[in-house]
Structure formats: C-alpha cells, structure tokens
C-alpha cells in the first residue's frame, strides 16, 4: 500500500506521532469542526502523509492527538480523501472484515459492520459530500468515524476474540494509565456503544 512513489520528498518533520491504545485522547467524543480553516486543510495533508508513511488506509484526527471530527482515507478515487464532520445518514447490509488499526499495531480481528452507508460530510474545499459507499470505503469510513466517537475496533469484536485481545492489550499497557481503558475495565464503553447504536 505504500506505493505513491513520493516518499523521497517527505521528511520526518512532515509526519505526526501516532497515539496508541491506552491514550485517553482515543476515548473522547471529538468536537465538530466549525470552520474549515487553512490550518485544517494543511493539517489534513499532513494526516494523509502520516497515514501513507504508516502504511494505513485511514486515519482519524484523534489518532494524532486532535479531538476534532475529521478523518482521512487512502481511497481518493471513491471519495474526497479529507472529510470533515462526517455523518452516516443510513446504513444497510452486513459484512465481516479483518480490521487493523494504526493505534493498535499488530492486532487484526474480524469486525462485523454494515456493508453499505450513505455518507454526508464536507471536503477540504468546503464542498458538501453526499454519497453512497460500499466495499472498502464503507469499511474505512465506519472504522474512522468510530474513532471520532471514542470507539476502537476492539470494542466491536466477538466475545471469543475479546479474550485474546484483552490479554494482548493488558500486556501492552501493563503498569501505565492505559490499564484504565474502558475496553479493559468494561465500564464506560458500554455507554458509548449504547449512545451510538
Ligand atoms: Zn483505527
């Protein structure tokens, strides 16, 4: 996936550090973006460069430490690559796909989600985006939009897969603030899931 051929021109100063499982910013409900400023357009570009560098296909603003409703994706043929204030108006169908997340490296687990969505958002030119998506775009947008609601893909996995994921994530955050993550304590996340069900 890292095939854009422009990596030579990119230096580390254009990249942003990722936030990982256990970081509280990943559990916040992100704020609406009131204005698409020049600074945010630039921020979107830097997010895309960071996503490419990390070999991701999607990235949400909280994953680089900003709790705002903004995401980028690597499917520019299907939709504008930077989306602000995305909303899923309607969803249907069901599909299973093995998801991974740049904030939880090395963990890949099946997640069931709607297979088709009707999406509304704004692009970085200030144009309204209003489209039907399926396949990978629908999958990526739903995963990234979960980040904006403080949800991670591990919150949506089966009971059986949870056992493995819990053990792995406990190991990773052993002795840090991350041990209080709702996935491991089982408390706050239920409320989040209920609110957005
Ligand atoms: Zn993710």
d(CA 73, CA 58): 4
d(CA 127, CA 125): 6
CA of 99 to the centre of ligand 1 (A): 9
What's the chain's average pLDDT?
91
* pLDDT tens, position by position, 136-161: 999 999 999 999 999 999 999 999 99
CA of 150 to the centre of ligand 1 (A): 10
CA of 21 to the centre of ligand 1 (A): 10
DSSP state of 31: B
Please, what sign has the CA dihedral across residues 51, 14, 18, 68? negative
Ranges assigned E (strand) in 114-153 = 116-122, 128-133
The total of other beta-carbon atoms located within 10 Å of residue 85's CB is: 18
Q: If residue 38 lies in a helix (H) or strand (E), which one and from where to where?
A: helix 38-53
Note if 144 is an active site residue: yes
* pLDDT tens, position by position, 120-133: 999 999 999 999 99
The catalytically annotated residue of 54, 116, 144, 166 is: 144
* pLDDT tens, position by position, 24-73: 999 999 999 999 999 999 999 999 999 999 999 999 999 999 999 999 99
* Two structure tokens written together for 119: 């999406």
CA of 11 to the centre of ligand 1 (A): 24
Domain architecture of the chain: domains with CATH:
7-191 (3.90.45.10)
**Model confidence, pTM:** 0.90
Say what the pLDDT of residue 187 is. Answer: 74
């Amino acid at each position: 996936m890292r095939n854009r051929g422009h990596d030579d021109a990119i230096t580390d100063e254009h990249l942003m550090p990722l936030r990982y499982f256990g970081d509280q910013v990943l559990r916040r409900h992100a704020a609406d973006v009131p204005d698409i400023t020049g600074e945010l357009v630039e921020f979107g570009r830097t997010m895309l460069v960071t996503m490419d560098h990390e070999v991701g296909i999607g990235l949400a603003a909280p994953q680089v430490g900003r709790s705002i409703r903004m995401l980028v994706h690597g499917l520019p043929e299907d939709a504008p690559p930077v989306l602000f204030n995305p909303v899923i108006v309607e969803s249907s169908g069901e599909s299973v796909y093995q998801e991974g997340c740049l904030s939880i490296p090395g963990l890949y687990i099946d997640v069931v989600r709607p297979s088709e969505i009707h999406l509304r958002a704004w692009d970085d030119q200030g144009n309204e985006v209003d489209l039907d998506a399926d396949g990978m775009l629908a999958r990526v947008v739903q995963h990234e939009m979960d980040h904006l609601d403080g949800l991670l893909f591990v919150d949506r996995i089966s009971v059986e897969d949870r056992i493995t994921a819990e053990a792995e994530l406990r190991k990773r955050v052993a002795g840090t603030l991350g041990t209080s993550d709702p996935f491991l304590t089982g408390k706050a996340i239920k409320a989040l899931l209920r609110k957005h069900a």
